[in-house]
C-alpha cells in the first residue's frame, strides 16, 4: 500500500468536504481530517507539515 498517496486522497476528500460543508460540525470534522492527513504525510515523508500545503 502506498501510504503517502492514500493520505493525499484523504486530504483531498477533506478539502472537498470543507467546500461543501453545510454546518459547523461538518467544517470541524473535515478540518480535523485535513489536519490528520497532513500530520500522517509529514510523519511518513519525514518532512515538516508546511511542505504538504501544496499537495
In the chain, how many domains are there? 1
Which of left, alpha, beta for 2 (phi over 0: left; psi -120 to 50: alpha)? beta
- 55: pLDDT confidence band, cut at 50, 70 and 90? low
Helix axes of 3-20 and 24-45: crossing angle, nearest 10 degrees: 160
Print the domain residue range for 19: 3-52
The whole-chain average pLDDT of the chain stands at: 90
The percentage of the chain sitting over the pLDDT mark of 90, rounded to a whole number, equals: 56
Q: Is the pLDDT of residue 37 over 80?
A: yes
- 42: pLDDT confidence band, cut at 50, 70 and 90? confident
Grid cell listed for 9: 486522497
Amino acid at each position: 500500500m502506498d501510504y503517502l498517496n492514500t493520505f493525499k486522497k484523504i486530504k483531498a476528500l477533506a478539502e472537498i468536504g470543507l467546500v461543501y460543508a453545510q454546518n459547523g460540525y461538518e467544517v470541524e470534522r473535515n478540518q480535523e481530517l485535513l489536519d490528520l492527513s497532513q500530520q500522517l504525510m509529514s510523519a511518513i515523508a519525514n518532512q515538516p507539515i508546511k511542505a504538504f500545503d501544496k499537495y
